[in-house]
């Protein structure tokens, strides 16, 4: 995919990036190299390759699934100005 300097200037305008026409030519060359690299990567046959979540074969250690903290729900409700049906009641702010 070849871009013109006008294409780059338009993309820069849409992205709210201010570049000069001279910078547009430099950016166009860099984008062309990126598109060439993408084309090379698309040419590689990846049939049968399983996607990896990490470059190394690692896994996160799992901890035992158990409750480690005490329930302070009743303490917090006593501090609240108004509670009903286990919910904190707040003043209406939008009419």
- Rounded Cα gap, residues 4 and 12, in angstroms: 12
In Å, the largest CA–CA distance within the chain is: 68
With 0.75 as the threshold, say if the pTM is over it. no
Pairing between strand 83-84 and 87-88? antiparallel
- Rounded Cα gap, residues 6 and 23, in angstroms: 12
- Rounded Cα gap, residues 23 and 8, in angstroms: 9
What pLDDT shows up at residue 60?
A: 80
What pLDDT shows up at residue 50?
A: 87
pLDDT single digits (tens) 5-53 = 899 999 999 999 999 988 999 999 999 999 999 999 999 999 998 888 7
Per-residue pLDDT at 1 exceeds 90? no
Query: First vs last Cα of the chain: how many Å apart?
Result: 54
pLDDT single digits (tens) 50-78 = 888 778 888 888 888 898 899 999 999 99
Answer whether 28's CB lies under 8 Å from 8's CB: yes
What pLDDT shows up at residue 3?
A: 86
């Amino acid at each position: 995919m070849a871009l013109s300097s006008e294409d780059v200037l338009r993309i820069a305008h849409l992205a709210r990036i201010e570049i000069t026409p001279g910078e547009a030519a430099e950016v166009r060359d860099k984008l062309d190299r990126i598109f060439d690299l993408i084309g090379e990567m698309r040419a590689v046959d990846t049939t049968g390759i399983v996607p990896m979540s990490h470059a190394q074969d690692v896994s996160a250690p799992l901890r035992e699934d158990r409750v480690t903290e005490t329930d302070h729900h009743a303490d917090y409700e006593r501090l609240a100005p108004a509670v009903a049906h286990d919910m904190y009641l707040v003043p209406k702010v939008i009419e």
